[in-house]
Chain A
C-alpha cells in the first residue's frame, strides 16, 4: 500500500556492517594510511578540490566507513600533481597512496 511516505533510509554508519578487509590490505601495502589525522591541509592545497570536491582526507575516511563509491567519485578528479604530498605533516605519500587505492580496489571490482 502506498501511504505517500515510507521508511527513510538511515544515514548512520553502522560499523558492524562495514567490511574492512580491503582496507586492511591497503593498510598492509600503505602502512601510513592510518596516520592521517584529518588536518585537511591536503584538501586545502588541492587544485581539484574547490571545483570537484576531491579530498584525499575524505577518501581515506570514506574507505574506512565502507563508502567506497563516494571515495572513487572523488578520486576520479585527482590529477596526481602531488601537492598534497608536499603539505602532509604526517609524511603520507598521498600520491603513492592514491595509486595503491586505484590498483587494489580496481583489481577486486
Chain B
C-alpha cells in the first residue's frame, strides 16, 4: 500500500464544509438502532464545540427507504424533500446536514436531478405549494453529519480523554472503516475523499489515534441493500454480503469497525450473531465478535462519555473487550440501567457468539 497515493486522491476530493450554522435532520431508523448517536452528534456540535445546529420536530422521513424499495414515485420523494428544505428556509438556515447516508444520497440525487431538469424542480415547487403552501430555497451547502465530525475531528482529538490505542501495548487499534454506499458512490465529488478511497472516516480514525485497515472487500456493501433485507426471501443475500466482508477482513484481526450509515453498523453488528448461529463462526478474539460503532459513538467514547449513555448496551456484539483495550472506564453493573438507573432488563445471551 502506498499511503501517499491515497493522500493524492484525498487531496483531489475535498468538499467545502462550512464551520457553523447548520439545519440538522435525523434518520428514520437510527434512533432505534443506535439511540445515543444522534443525541451525541448534537451534544458534540452544540455543547462541546458551541456551534449553531438547529433542528425541528416538524421534519419527516426523506422518503428514501420507500424510494429505494420502489414503493413511491420520484415526485413524491421530491415533494417530501422540498418540504424539508422549506423548513430549513423558514428557520433561516442555508446549510443542510443529514444524519442518514441514504437521506444524504437522496438529497444529493434530487438536487442534481433538478439541476439537470429544471422543469421538474418547477413542478415540485408547484406540488409543494398546492400540498402545504410552503416555499423553499435549495440548501447552499449539503453535508452528511459525518462530514461535520470529520471537519471537527482535530478539535475532538484535542479534547479527547481516550485515544484509539491499546493501552497495554501502546499500539494503535486496527480499525475497519465502512462507508455507506449512498455517501459517495453516486456522486464521488460530494464525499470527502471520493468514492474509491473515502477519507471521511479514515480522517477521524487517524486523528483519534487508530490505524485504518484496507482489506480486499472494503468497498463492498454491508449487505443491507433495502430490497435484499426487507424482503425475507432475499434476506440470504443480505447476510451473504456481510459474511463476505467479514471473511475478507478476518486475517487483519480488526479491533473495531467504524461506520457512517444507519444500516451498515446495524447489519455488520447483528449479522455477526446470525453468522455465529448458522455457521458457528465468530470474528473477534476469544469467541467475541468485532464491535461495530457509529462515528458519533466513537467520538463520544474518545471524549470520555459513559458508554451506557452512548447506548452501547444495545449492540449485539459486546463492546466491553474493546473498552478494556482502550481503558475506557465503565460500570458493568450499569449496562442495563436506563435513565435514572431504571432497570431496562437483561437480554438473553446467544449460544455461539460470546457476549457480556
Q: Give the interface of A toward B (CB within 8 A).
A: 1, 3-8, 10
Contacts and interface: CB of A to CB of B under 8 A. Distances in A.
Contacts of B279: 7
B85 to A, nearest CB: 39
Pick the 10 closest A-B CB pairs, nearest first: A5-B235, A5-B236, A1-B277, A8-B240, A8-B236, A7-B240, A7-B243, A6-B236, A7-B239, A8-B237
- Interface residues of chain A: helix, strand, loop or mixed (majority): loop
Given A8-B236, A8-B237, A8-B239, 7 more contacts: A1-B277, A5-B235, A5-B236, A5-B239, A6-B236, A7-B240, A7-B279
Nearest to B351: A1
Q: A1, A4, A5, A10: which has the most chain B beta carbons within 10 Å?
A: A5
Nearest to A3: B274
Contacts of A4: 232, 235
Contacts of A7: 236, 239-240, 243, 275, 278-279
A8 B244 CA distance: 10
Contacts of B236: 5-8
Interface in B199-256: 232-233, 235-237, 239-240, 243-244
A13 to B, nearest CB: 15
B217 to A, nearest CB: 12
Nearest to A2: B278
24 contacts: A1-B277, A1-B351, A3-B235, A3-B274, A3-B277, A3-B278, A4-B235, A5-B233, A5-B235, A5-B236, A5-B239, A6-B236, A6-B278, A7-B239, A7-B240, A7-B243, A7-B275, A7-B278, A7-B279, A8-B236, A8-B239, A8-B240, A10-B240, A10-B244
A8 B239 CA distance: 8
Contacts of B239: 5-8
Contacts of B275: 7
Contacts of B278: 1, 3, 6-7
A8 B243 CA distance: 10
A57 to B, nearest CB: 31
Interface in B262-317: 274-275, 277-279
Contacts of B277: 1, 3
User: Which one of B236, B243, B277 has the greatest number of beta carbons of chain A within 10 Å?
Assistant: B236
Contacts of A1: 277-278, 351
Nearest to A12: B244
Nearest to B239: A7
Of A3, A4, A10, the most chain B CB neighbours within 10 A belong to A3
A52 B232 CA distance: 35
A31 B26 CA distance: 64
A71 B240 CA distance: 28
Contacts of B274: 3
A59 to B, nearest CB: 30
A4 B239 CA distance: 12
A16 to B, nearest CB: 12
A73 B275 CA distance: 35
Contacts of B240: 7-8, 10
Interface string B16-44: 00000000000000000000000000000
